[in-house]
Chains A and B, each alone.
Chain A
Amino acid sequence: MSLRDKLSEIKEKGLADIDQANDLKKLNEIRVHLLGKKGPITAALRGIKELTPEERPEVGSYANKIRDAITEAVSNHREELETAQLNQQLATEKIDVTLPGKPVAQGQPHVIQQIIDQIVDLFLGMGYEVLTGPEVEEDKYNFEMMNLPKNHPARDMQDTFYLSREILMRTQTSPMQARALEKHDFSEGPLKMISPGIVYRRDTDDPTHSHQFHQVEGLVIDEHITMADLKGTLITMAQNIFGDKFDIRLRPSYFPFTEPSVEVDVTCFNCMGKGCDVCKHTGWIEVLGAGMVHPNVLKMAGVDSDVYGGFAFGVGPDRFAMLRYGVDDIRDFYLNDVRFLNQFSKRGN
């Protein structure tokens, strides 16, 4: 048998052994044996001396090829074995992924806060500033400067918590209109403001009345603000807060501090305008009051009503929340049952 044939035989057998090795240890032994100094290749190559000098390089090169083939086979087979071993380990690590995850502490904003934030964000985007004012208010701002003089019929003393003859718990966020108008410098630009806050009424708490609730006041005054602008603004708000499918309608109403005054209805949430018991079969639900600021309100705040004018509106976030989520008792907002509070999603819409 020629040396070359001998080497071929070693190779065939070696490759077969590698292929049959079923663990890494065995594989390593085979590699060390085949390629080691005491291995069969080294032993076979001792016979090289018997070859002619011309034959030697060819056989030497052939031996190297065999070494490379063996090395590669070992490496490939090692990878296979490692993968198999890893898969075996992963199989033992299997868990029930349907077991619940570890609870993470997470609070929620109050549902009314969510609605206020949503309104505020919308109006910030339209260039309004956010103003806040005192909850304990002067009669002057709460009533008089809102065109409700002391003996005005629309001013019901029964409805107001007084601290003294002149100081009261504000019954509306409208006094912020007077406060903002007094302070504003129209040479700097128009007045566009939104004012959220808590208001108080001398009411007995029941499912639809609360002695404490929220309002968001809106006011825009400039040289050319129209009732059409009010309508457009309110549509924008309704569609932003409630959804694109919602429409509004204006109906005549009466507020001493606006003229014209309107009440604003939005498409019924329950029936989307088809008519149902919730909307008394009209397809509409009343959600807010608005109007063009009464010239007296401007004059009393020192604003020239011949030059400046605009609109105001007042929104009740409590009512919005009740309508939108179908909450049927306003007191739930102020009793803070955590099971109630945690139901309202935090996703910001």
Chain B
Amino acid sequence: MKVSYKWLKQYLDLDMPAKDLAEKIERTAVEVDSVKVAEDGLKKLVVGHILSMKDHPESDHLHICSVDVGEDEPLQIVCGAPNVAAGQKVIVALPNSRIGGNVKIKRSKMRGVESSGMICALDEIGFSKDVVPKEWADGIYVFDDDVPVGEPIYHYLGMDDPIIDLDVTPNRGDMLSIIGTVHELAAIYDQQPEIKKPVVDEDATLDAQAEISATADSKLAKTYKLRVVEDVKIAPSPAWLQIILWNAGIRPINNVVDVTNYILLKYGQPLHSFDKDKINGNITVRNAAKGEKLTTLDEDNHELSTEDIVIADQDQPIALAGVMGGFNTQIDNDTQNVVIESAIFDSFHIRKTAQRHVLHTEASQRFERGINPDGVADALNEAVSLIKQLAGGKIAKGTITASDYHPELPVISITAERTNHVLGTSLKLDEIKAIFDRLGFSSITDGDQLQVTIPARRWDIHIDADLFEEVARIYGYDNLPATLPTGRQTIGVLTAAQRLQRAVRQILEGIGLTQAISYSLTTEEKAKMFLMQSSEPTQLLWPMTQDHTTLRMNLLSGLLDDVAYNHARKVDDVALYESGRVFYKDSADQVRPKEVEHIAGVITGNLTNPSWNNHVKAADFFLIKGMVNQFIVNLGIKGDISYTATDQYPEMHPGRTAEISIHGHDVGFVGQIHPQIAKKFKIKETYAFELDMQALIDLPKNDDQYQAVAKYPSIKRDISIIVDSEITNDQIVQLMQKRGGAYLHEIRLFDVYEGKNVPDGKKSMAYSLTYVNPRETLKDEVVNTAFEKIKKRLTADLNAEIR
């Protein structure tokens, strides 16, 4: 709501700068979007009087004007506006002036004729085209005759008035009006504004009841009132009214419509004016019938819904109630008799209608937020009085009331103790009462209770908490003490699972992966990749874009998107991990998915930058496997970690992927992204892992990891064997572990070789075995026996050739 500071000053004694007033409003009531003075940035714009005018010899549309600007000599100004004429008082931009859009005006020649300045249209001095009255839309603006020549224009166009744009919260519909804002400021500055009740000068010879009748469904319109004014003369509004409207962002139309908009601004009560002679028979307020249509004032055609409220005459809908009037019954230049409507339409219906027809108007906005039931009649009365004042005519006696609503005013009882208990203040009851006095809420002290009567204009207040808010904001949030909660103590600790999740992140960062946060919503295709269990995708009912339609069932596809984003920006080396949720559904008709914590990582390119002494190798399977393994080891989960070759992931390289299990529980996979998938994502050779974090959290941990370090020396034996290529490291290691004897402590593979000196289809593997006896010094003979046994088993079971 754009509020005029000048208008407020008609009711209140305010002398602070508009900026300070705005800040006060912001800190006490509602947010302020902006404070603007239209003349800011403009320079040397004055009222000019066109003394004479002649045609430009070189042009068929330009005129040469002699303009009195209050100086000794008139200025010669060339003007091309179609409506320019001698005798007019106009906006003159003097030489070296500044007009709208920060444009400087200089003396110039137009087709050979000197022009000392410019005669301006409203939009040229910063007016939005939306608020310029139609009569001035295609030409220059012409002042009333009584405007003094040579004076700056700003005052005469309302451009010197600071406009405070309030961003009114949904609960403060009362502040969508000047009167509501005045009440609020009266409370803030502790003033008693006088708000006069309108007096209507009715014509006793004309009876409204005889002119028109109306019926209303009170469920749709709690209050529905009409008044009639006859024999009006439609004309443009006077400047003061036009100024009020355009400063509020509303285009002036004519003296009747402008009055209804003026009342809307002043009371927050939307009104509508009908041309009485275009209405056929009685008016009814009802739901639209199936198939009914209406052309609104903006000349848009609407197919009506049976949920829309319409104003209808005998034949058809004539207005979309509370949203916009109908084209066919609008006031035009020939209108003589008008019907003015003042009503309260049901907010829910209005909201739906505004949404359905995409018609969010000043009226609908106010009906959606609520209307002061005690202001409906006043607004109507002031409207007809003002119409009579501006457009002449006779006000018919009486008001047609199809429905009426005057709720009983709520009385809420509060105590100082409870108020202080909630706010942390130490206010006394009379201090609280003084705040309600300022707000204009009448209250009665009853023992330690304060009975507060809520005026109809504050329909947002229902319970004591609402009153605490009123007390707090008028008392001032700055005056509230700042304390920390006291009372019963609590301990703040992370749960074991939360600690583990933190540790997980630190471990991965320690081994070189940076945390990514990708989008959980992706395409169906990507959502279905890298599936660790069978699952149906979860889809949004109304997605916003094609890229985000489906909840992810893996983290990797998001990380691959990230890699692609980096590659597209010439970053080849990427090492990322992500910790987040995936969403599984057992069946397509299950609505709500199960949310499972996962963790995943990707590496492509180099993990560290190549440098003069850092001869890096691009990431490969064994780098990422080493990382994952170290990661899992660090979690201290009970049981062995094993890696089994798998070709079950269509998105992974079938020969370079391993299923990871811990103590027989599958927890995820590690490997190379399938080259075709890499190509599809437009990424380079990439290695990845994804793990079920929830499983890692749930698996039992080694609580007692400590083992005494052996005091006795260890003995090492190296063994080199040649085996068939198909034999895996795992097979060899498992056999050694099984047959290695009690003292075999560690097996370390130190060489793998295929090629020269090794027969085709074979490979050479070399291991270093460490033997330790924790209780005494090992004897060579014991180790020799154990070592011989391993050799024998390797030969017998794996057909190994010992070298």
Residues of A within 8 A of B (CB): 99-100, 102-110, 112-113, 117, 123-130, 134-136, 138, 151, 153-154, 161-164, 166-167, 169, 189-190, 192, 198, 200, 202-205, 211-212, 220, 222-229, 231-233, 235-236, 249-254, 259-263, 280, 282, 292, 294-295, 309-310, 333-339, 341-342, 346
Contacts and interface: CB of A to CB of B under 8 A. Distances in A.
Choose among B422, B478, B495 the residue with the greatest number of A CB atoms under 10 Å from its CB: B422
Contact of A227 (B424, B478, B494): B424
B562 A292 contact: no
Interface string B482-521: 1111111111111100100010010011111111111111
A195 B574 CA distance: 31
Nearest to A105: B512
Interface stretch (B88-96, B200-208, B468-476, B737-745): B468-476
B591 A164 contact: yes
B612 interface: yes
Given A222-B488, A261-B469, A163 B541 contact: yes
Given A259-B466, A339-B571, A250 B480 contact: yes
B516 A336 contact: yes
Contacts of A232: 481-484
Interface stretch (B24-32, B292-300, B711-719, B768-776): B24-32
Nearest to A197: B581
Given A126-B484, A163-B591, A231-B482, 13 more contacts: A107-B508, A107-B511, A108-B515, A127-B491, A136-B583, A153-B351, A161-B540, A204-B545, A212-B519, A224-B487, A235-B482, A259-B469, A338-B566
A264 B422 CA distance: 18
A260 B465 contact: yes
A134 B595 contact: yes
Given A226-B424, A336-B576, A127 B515 contact: no
16 contacts: A100-B612, A103-B608, A109-B505, A110-B514, A117-B502, A125-B492, A127-B491, A161-B542, A192-B485, A211-B519, A227-B424, A231-B483, A232-B481, A252-B29, A337-B566, A338-B574
B449 to A, nearest CB: 15
Contacts of A200: 520-521
B517 A102 contact: no
B480 A190 contact: no
B376 interface: no
Given A164-B591, A262-B477, A336-B518, A107 B27 contact: no
B730 interface: no
Given A106-B510, A130-B498, A231-B480, A226 B544 contact: no
B595 A136 contact: yes
A110 B517 contact: yes
A97 to B, nearest CB: 13
B515 A136 contact: no
B694 interface: no
B756 interface: no
B441 interface: no
Interface string B527-539: 0000000000011
7 closest residue pairs by CB, A with B: A228-B424, A105-B512, A226-B424, A260-B469, A254-B169, A107-B509, A250-B477
A100 B508 CA distance: 25
Given A162-B540, A232-B484, A130 B520 contact: no
Nearest to A126: B492
Interface of B: 23, 26-31, 34, 169-172, 347-348, 351, 368-369, 421-425, 463, 465-466, 468-469, 472-473, 477-478, 480-495, 498, 502, 505, 508-521, 538-545, 548, 551, 562, 565-566, 569, 571, 573-577, 580-581, 583, 591-593, 595, 607-609, 611-614
Contacts of A124: 492-494
Contacts of B481: 228, 231-232
B463 A295 contact: yes
Contacts of B544: 161, 202-204, 211
Contacts of A130: 494-495, 498
A167 B591 contact: yes
Choose among B463, B466, B490 the residue with the greatest number of A CB atoms under 10 Å from its CB: B490
B472 to A, nearest CB: 5
Contacts of A161: 521, 540-544
Contacts of A236: 484
A260 B517 contact: no
Contact of B170 (A117, A166, A254, A333): A254
Given A103-B608, A342-B514, A249 B477 contact: yes
A202 B542 contact: yes
Nearest to B29: A252
A129 B492 contact: yes
A136 B593 contact: yes
B520 A198 contact: yes
Contacts of A220: 485
B686 to A, nearest CB: 14
A162 B551 CA distance: 12
Contacts of B569: 337
A214 B480 CA distance: 30
B492 A162 contact: no
A224 B422 CA distance: 8
A224 B575 CA distance: 50
Contacts of A259: 463, 465-466, 468-469
B515 A260 contact: no
A260 B419 CA distance: 12
B170 to A, nearest CB: 5
Contacts of A113: 505, 515, 517
A227 B515 contact: no
Nearest to A212: B519
Contacts of B23: 282
B514 A151 contact: no
Contacts of B508: 107
B492 to A, nearest CB: 4
A112 B517 contact: yes
Choose among A103, A109, A127, A261 the residue with the greatest number of B CB atoms under 10 Å from its CB: A103
Contact of A252 (B30, B425, B562): B30
A204 B477 CA distance: 35
A239 B545 CA distance: 39
Nearest to B468: A260
Contact of B575 (A107, A134, A295): A107
A100 B30 CA distance: 58
Contacts of A190: 485, 487-488, 490
Contacts of B543: 161
B480 A227 contact: yes
Contact of B490 (A104, A128, A167, A261): A128
B456 to A, nearest CB: 20
Contacts of A263: 31
A107 B515 contact: yes
Contacts of B486: 224, 229
A136 B594 CA distance: 9
A244 to B, nearest CB: 14
